[in-house]
Amino acid sequence: MINRFLALRFLFWVFAPLVGFAATPAPISITLEQTIGRVVDHNLRVRAEKLNLSAARSEARAEAGLFEPEFVASFGREANRRQNTRERFLSQGASVFDEENEISTAAIEATLPPGTLLRVGGQTRRLSNNLQITGNEEFESFAGVNLTQPLLKGAGVKATLAQLRLATARSEVVLHETRRQLAAILSQAELAYWDLARAVAEDELR
């Protein structure tokens, strides 16, 4: 037992330096430009700043779409049942008015620089009630142009472009903040690189 123990210790003493040498990673050579590139690609603060800048620019682009036309459409059904007054009874000839209508609308809407809301479209109503002759259908339709112009709040080009200007200004602020953060991070990385280079040179000198 003692001889086996001594033999194991002898083998460990002989091969331990070789094992330690094999486990030691080989030194790598990296330039300053490569270091900066890796920091830009993998630093979490840099990624966060890039995401903030992308979000601010997306918000500005979204606000710039204010004047793009928009297509809107809707379909609905309405049902009413009411007891007629004497006046309505005399005009309609029925004590109860019962109706069920279908309403379809489609339009193109756009906002103009003065704040005017332009709407070009139409509406169709399919009427069905107990006053109609059985088997007959009635339709009401409308097509035209509507202009809605605010006169007090929200009127004028400045009021219309206010949100776009704010979004653009926020994007510029985030851009400069991103540049500041990036410059600070890269300066720290460069200082760390030269500290390492100095340490390696001192080690070689010793």
Query: Sign of the CA dihedral 71, 77, 83, 84?
Result: positive
Q: What is the pLDDT of residues 27-43, one digit of tens each?
A: 677 788 888 888 888 88
Q: β-strands 96-111, 117-127: how paired?
A: antiparallel
What letter represents residue 125's amino acid? R
| The pair of three-digit structure tokens given for residue 165, joined into one six-digit string | 């200007």
User: pLDDT, tens digit, for every residue of 149-192?
Assistant: 888 877 788 888 888 888 888 889 988 888 888 888 888 888 88
